[in-house]
């Protein structure tokens, strides 16, 4: 799947697996929205990746709605299994990615 110019929302994107995912998506040409807690290095990560940072707690519906609205304002946000398969392929090196 071609993720160039798509907007990817990455929860927990300031560290760990979320950060690795965000980096891979950015390398593939996606515009990344890092969603993480205010105390995280999310703003710095977003700046490094040329993306945006949304302060949100995944357990709080209103803050997540605001994060999604921010992402949608940046462009198309594909939400489907192919995007997740593309990310998995990028992370583990699989070539079995649906279009």
Which of the pair, 4 or 66, is modelled with greater confidence?
66
For the segment 21-32, the average pLDDT, to the nearest whole number, is: 92
pTM of the predicted model over 0.75 = yes
The domain tally of the chain equals 1
Decide if pLDDT at 87 tops 70.
no
Residue 23 within any structural domain of the chain? yes
Strand partners, 10: 34
Domain CATH for 65: 3.40.50.720
Residue 78 within any structural domain of the chain? yes
Confidence of residue 2 (pLDDT cuts 50, 70, 90): confident
SS (H, E, C) 32-51: EEEEECCCCCHHHHHHHHCC
Identify the domain containing residue 84 by its residue range: 7-92
For the segment 42-66, the average pLDDT, to the nearest whole number, is: 95
Report residue 12: phi and psi, to 5°: 65, 25
For the segment 49-59, the average pLDDT, to the nearest whole number, is: 95
pLDDT single digits (tens) 71-84: 999 988 876 545 55
User: How confident is the model at residue 76, as a pLDDT?
Assistant: 86
């Amino acid at each position: 799947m071609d993720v160039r110019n798509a907007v990817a929302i990455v929860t927990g994107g300031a560290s760990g697996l979320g950060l690795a995912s965000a980096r891979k998506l950015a390398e593939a040409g996606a515009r990344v929205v890092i969603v993480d807690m205010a105390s995280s290095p999310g703003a710095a990560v977003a700046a490094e990746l040329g993306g945006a940072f949304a302060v949100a707690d995944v357990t709080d519906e209103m803050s997540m709605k605001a994060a999604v609205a921010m992402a949608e304002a940046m462009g198309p946000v594909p939400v489907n299994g192919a995007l997740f398969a593309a990310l998995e392929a990028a992370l583990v090196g699989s070539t079995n990615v649906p279009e």
